[in-house]
Amino acid sequence: MANNNMARLNQDMKREIIDIISHMKDPRVQGFLTVTRVEVTPDLSNAKVYISVLGKEDGTKEAVTALNRASGHVRSEVAKRMHIRKSPEFLFIEDDGAAYADRINRVIEGLKHE
């Protein structure tokens, strides 16, 4: 039962973080920024937020840096919106899953042509 509650909390927090980030005016977080997943610890002290940016090569690193600097703002907004007393500290991490999947697809396509 606790596992289902954590999964629901992760999804709810992901939804709120996406909305908060979409309203930020920092040009480094504008564009095709995607929150791929959120992992909150059971004691709600920390949360890892995985970010992916499509388009620019260094866009993900810039966005992660900007979001880590604005993590206090994101934390306070999440606490307000979700009506929780203790909000986790957010650590934004670059997610390279989409780039990895693209590389695997190119390798497979190269094998098909040979």
Taken in order 3, 6, 7, 8, the sign of the CA dihedral is positive
Does residue 47 have a pLDDT over 90?
yes
Percentage of residues of the chain with pLDDT beyond 90: 39
Q: What is the pLDDT of residue 57?
A: 67
What fold does the segment set 2-113 form as a domain?
A: GMP Synthetase; Chain A, domain 3 (3.30.300)
pTM (predicted TM-score): 0.81
pLDDT digits (tens, 9 = 90+) for 62-94: 888 999 999 999 999 999 999 988 889 999 998
Q: What is the pLDDT of residue 40?
A: 92
Does residue 1 have a pLDDT over 60?
no
Domain extents for the chain?
Answer: 2-113
